[in-house]
Structure 1
Amino acid sequence: MKLPKLEIKNLKVKSKNLYGLQILHLSDLHLNKKTKVEDIEKLVAFCNSLEYDFLALTGDIIDCKVDKIIPQLETLNLLKKVFYISGNHDLFYGIKPLKMILNNFIFLDNKTTFIKYKNKDIALAGLSDRFSKFFREKREEKKVFDFLSNNENSILLAHQPKDFYLAVNSNTKLFLCGHTHGGQIFPFHYFVRLFQPFLAGVFYKKKTCIYVNKGLGTWGIDFRYKANSEITLLKLINN
């Protein structure tokens, strides 16, 4: 991955229950052997200079075996207040060694927790990627669904937009995901839309705000066209 120009995308999204919360959203870094440690240092310094309540990293952190990019991952591990979930590439290349080296992050696959914000308990849950079963990893949809359904102020992290239904049906207030790269290279946008309900950006379904991040890295060809990389700072506002 060649790191793109670092710019923040400030985005206001509607969610009365989560009003005021600020979330830094990263996705699809696709770090590999070509990724320079210096670039990750710049990314970490850039993100850590921003004001946010927590950082959501929605999968596909790596695009090669962990032991090939240990210095890069050790540097990434310096990011602050990170919750993350697996992507299909993380599962393929090794989610267990990835968890071991990212010990400063909170891993949320099939896990639930609460964060305090303005005297509110905000329920935060993560779901393992849809490819988990092919890698003998659990995917506990019912556990996550029940947790979200039983908490009024809730956020779900997952890798693929396809999991939006779980957020909508549980009345989750915010659903964050990635995976699509926004199509990465036009006109592959149309191909991606054959498999995913959303390509990129903000969508509202019932009581749920959905945000699909176009990601920071690339896959296959290190090139983007009409699908710019993004680092997004989400600011939750009143409806």
Structure 2
Amino acid sequence: MKTNTINKLDIKVEKLALDGFKILHLSDLHIDTKTDIFYIEKLIDLCQKTKYDVLFITGDIIDCKVSKIKDKLLLLNTLRNAYFISGNHDLFYGLDELKNILSQITFLDNKIEFIDFKDKEIAIGGLSDRFSKFFRIKRDEEKLLNTLSKYENSILLAHQPKDYEYATKNYIDLFLCGHTHGGQIYPFHYIVKLFQPFLYGLHYIDKTAIYVNKGIGTWGVDFRYKADSEISLINLIY
């Protein structure tokens, strides 16, 4: 887990009301028993020193049972103005337990919350991960997106890039996701691209800005090659 730098970028959006809105975007922490608590503390310190309006975690916070890493997860509760959605690993290792531990972070799966920014209201929607159906969690995409699309300023969070279509079809201003790790180890990038429409970075489809975060942690092998860890500070510009 590399936590010493922040990738700062401007993302152009179509709404003047979103101009200057700053998002700290984290994804795929994959915290497990091997994760040194020092790195979690370093991540928290970095976030606390960063000026942002909202912090989003787009899934896969854990990579083992919550009971084994409780002390590390509790530290995340000090993050301010933070929201998170589920990833496939969160579902597998225990989403209910994770929600209980992260009691100070707003859980957004299949929900819409609102953030006030410069006297304007921004609607934030979150989709549970695509594997939800295997865990008997109902994911009513159409209902959520039909509601979210009614608001003038909107952001959608999902774990997997595949869900970008819900954002574009419903004219959502910004779609944020993770999951891919940017391929993590080259040349596995090409395999990931067989399953996901985007590997990493910024993309535009119609009027929707799409950003795929490469994530902080690793999966399988604690190694990255040509796919650096990423913490993103996104500044929306009009």
Specify if TM > 0.5: yes
Equivalent residue of 2:44, what SS?
A: helix
Alpha carbons of 1:5 and 1:151: their partners in 2 closer, same or farther (altered >3 Å)?
Answer: closer
Farther-moved stretch of structure 1 (210-219 vs 41-50): 41-50
Farther-moved stretch of structure 1 (31-40 vs 202-211): 31-40
Q: Deviations over 1:57-110 (max 9, x none)?
A: 000000000000000001122111111100000000000000000001000000
Equivalent residue of 1:144, what SS?
A: helix
Equivalent residue of 1:97, what SS?
A: helix
1:39 aligned to 2:3? no
Confirm or deny: 8 A CA contact 1:58 1:157 kept in the other structure. Answer: yes
Aligned to 1:208: 208
Aligned to 2:195: 195
> How many pairs were matched up?
236
**Of 12, 17, 21, which aligns to 1:14?**
12
Aligned to 1:87: 87
Letter aligned with residue 175 of structure 1: F
Confirm or deny: 8 A CA contact 2:127 2:158 kept in the other structure. Answer: yes
Equivalent residue of 2:130, what SS?
A: coil
Distance 1:221 1:38 in 2: 20
Q: Deviations over 1:9-28 (max 9, x none)?
A: 00101013111100000000
Aligned to 2:185: 185
Equivalent residue of 1:109, what SS?
A: coil
Aligned to 2:97: 97
Aligned to 2:166: 166
**Structure 1 residue 5, shift from structure 2 partner:** 4.5
Distance 1:59 1:205 in 2: 23
Confirm or deny: 8 A CA contact 1:109 1:128 kept in the other structure. Answer: yes
Structure 2, unpaired ranges of 5+: none
Q: After the TM superposition, which residues 1-239 of structure 1 pair with which residues of structure 2 at under 5 Å, given as runs?
A: 3-17=1-15, 18-238=18-238
Confirm or deny: 8 A CA contact 1:200 1:213 kept in the other structure. Answer: yes
**Structure 1 residue 128, shift from structure 2 partner:** 0.2
Letter aligned with residue 165 of structure 1: E
Confirm or deny: 8 A CA contact 2:183 2:189 kept in the other structure. Answer: yes
Equivalent residue of 1:123, what SS?
A: strand
Distance 2:14 2:118 in 1: 13
Distance 1:48 1:54 in 2: 12
Q: Deviations over 1:167-199 (max 9, x none)?
A: 001100000000000000000000000000000
Equivalent residue of 1:103, what SS?
A: coil
Moved runs in structure 1, 4+ residues, more than 2 A? none
Distance 1:234 1:80 in 2: 16
Letter aligned with residue 12 of structure 2: K
Confirm or deny: 8 A CA contact 1:25 1:56 kept in the other structure. Answer: yes
Distance 2:171 2:90 in 1: 28
Distance 2:165 2:157 in 1: 13
Confirm or deny: 8 A CA contact 1:37 1:75 kept in the other structure. Answer: no
Distance 2:139 2:3 in 1: 35
TM-score, normalization: structure 2? 0.98
Equivalent residue of 1:39, what SS?
A: helix
Structure 1, unpaired ranges of 5+: none
**Structure 1 residue 138, shift from structure 2 partner:** 1.8
